[in-house]
Amino acid sequence: MHTSPSIRKVFEGVATRKMHRLFNRHRGDPAMAEGEGQHLFAGEWFETNEREHDYMLEILPPLFMRADMFAMREFMTGSVTSIFFALTIDGKRRWFHGYCDLSDRLSPERMKAAIIEHESRPVHAMTRDERLDHIWSSTHDDYRGYAGERWPQAMRGRRTVLVYAGQSGTVLKLLDDLTEAEIAAKLPVQFRHLPETAAA
């Protein structure tokens, strides 16, 4: 039986020059080295712009194309590939990128519906997971990584980031263990005071 991955926004705002960095946001994950990275990518999405959307359309003939989406011919890992969307939300044309697992033929339509639902919410808010994903996506590779052999066995392979810890200086900490103050310090100012929503 096929299990649908969670559909999740991984970057707040419009990713223009950062788009290609977001494609590689799981580089270094131990699962990628073991060839088991499908679960890392499937279900992730972010907003881009028309220029980047059109550029990607022109690189190669798409695997498939519909009125409001197209799929990249090259797969990221396994049966997961990039889907680009051109959607009208609240009367405004917007562009998005998502990773869909095409072993589930309905995954592009589910992602499209999830993006529209998320971006049509009357109040702009972020879940804790969206805040953490934004921090991970926007942190330079030199300041993030994965818990290795020096960490307890149960923590190995989990995402880590450098944080400023006052008199202790800069310390490495599990991304999931960041305090609310540490999250706020790492978010851009315009996102720090957004209300927090429960995960959908």
Q: Where are the domains of the chain?
A: 8-119, 128-192
- Which residues fall within 8 angstroms of residue 28, CB to CB, at 6 or more apart? 141, 145, 146
Q: Are 146 and 164 in contact (CB under 8 A)?
A: no
Helix (H) and strand (E) counts in the chain: 8, 9
pLDDT confidence of residue 191: 63
Q: What is the mean pLDDT of each run of 10 residues along the chain (200 residues)?
A: 66 82 78 71 90 88 90 84 94 94 92 92 78 87 87 88 81 89 80 55
Q: Are 70 and 83 in contact (CB under 8 A)?
A: yes
* Burial grade of 131 (CB within 10 A; 0-12, 13-18, 19 or more): buried
Q: What is the pTM of this model?
A: 0.78
Alpha helices in 46-127 (DSSP H): 50-59, 107-119
**DSSP 8-state code for residue 60:** S
